[in-house]
Amino acid sequence: MKIAIIGSGNVGGALAQGWLRAGHQVVIGAKFPLSEKNQHLATLIGKDKFMGLKEAVQTSEVVLIATPPTAIFDVIAEMGELAGKVIIDATNAVRQKPLPYDTVYHALVDKTPAQVVKCFNTTGFENMLNPTYGELKIDLFMAGDSEEAKKVALQLALDAGFGACMDFGKGDKVVLQEQFALSWINLAIMQGHGRNMAFKVVWR
Ligand SMILES: NC(=O)c1ccc[n+]([C@@H]2O[C@H](COP(=O)([O-])OP(=O)(O)OC[C@H]3O[C@@H](n4cnc5c(N)ncnc54)[C@H](OP(=O)(O)O)[C@@H]3O)[C@@H](O)[C@H]2O)c1
């Protein structure tokens, strides 16, 4: 797939590496493509992957949003035409909402014609770099109203090395999925269990 990553920090950088390893065409869209902050990632994935935000989005089928939640209005204004594109929202607005919306997902659904899904938000970026724990591959979760966007998110989760991407429900479950992310943050950081922990769903 042709993927544009908006936000090349912890999350965007980790997923760029995983998706490139899986053979996807990944570009990073940024206001300042080869800024000081992007130099390390550029040495890992190549300077040629960095370009302006609009160019990255317009040359891609799928867009990952991995910015602070409140940046979404700037990002929407800069992305250009979005009809026919899938947008994956990896942000968590648990501390800072993109008002008047509860989440970036809701802002994207209201303000763009894209197919939107919330995914890649429920675990730490270290787990996105390496989703393998011994024999186990950890799981992701996805929520939203677009079945088309969910198919893409599922494939990209598997391609990044996750074991599964469980359907958390439709758009009315997006806030719950962000609360689920907060549960990981609570356990890993506030309760001190460390960031090298992850969720895996088991059945019998
Ligand atoms: N960290 C995690 O483990 C984790 C896990 C799951 C979900 N999340 C969520 O993922 C999102 C990103 O987290 P992160 O840790 O990757 O953050 P980060 O390392 O701070 O990276 C944020 C990126 O967003 C870019 N950005 C900021 N404002 C922008 C704008 N107006 N237009 C375009 N790009 C902009 C930044 O560019 P500059 O550096 O140039 O400012 C930077 O590349 C957050 O919403 C977070 O809640 C994080």
Q: What is the rounded distance in angstroms from the CA atom of residue 102 to the CA atom of residue 203?
A: 32
pLDDT in tens, 149-201: 999 999 999 999 999 999 999 999 999 999 999 999 999 999 999 999 999 99
pLDDT by residue (tens digit) across 128-144? Answer: 999 999 999 999 999 99
Closest among 79, 96, 88 to 30, alpha carbons compared? 79
Q: Is 93 in the pocket of ligand 1 (CB under 6 A)?
A: no
Binding site membership of 125 for ligand 1 (Cβ less than 6 Å): yes
**Structural fold of domain 2-190:** Rossmann fold (3.40.50)
Whether residue 33 has a cis bond before it, omega within 30° of 0: no
- pLDDT score recorded for residue 95: 84
* Model pLDDT for residues 66-123, shown as the tens digit of each residue: 999 999 999 999 999 999 999 999 999 988 999 999 999 999 999 999 999 999 999 9
Cβ of 70 closer than 6 Å to ligand 1, yes or no, is no
Indicate the pTM of the whole model.
0.98
Measured over the CA atoms of residue 10, residue 181, residue 6 and residue 100, the dihedral's sign is negative
Q: Give the closest residue to 41 by CA, choosing from 9, 66, 7, 1.
A: 9
Contact at 8 Å (CB) between 89 and 119?
yes
Enumerate the β-bridge partners of residue 2.
25
Average pLDDT over residues 31-54: 96
Distance from Cα 203 to the centre of ligand 1, integer Å: 34
Residue 21 has pLDDT above 90, yes or no: yes
Residue 63 is predicted with a pLDDT of 98
11 CA distance to ligand 1 middle (Å): 7
Distance of CA 6 from the midpoint of ligand 1 (Å): 8
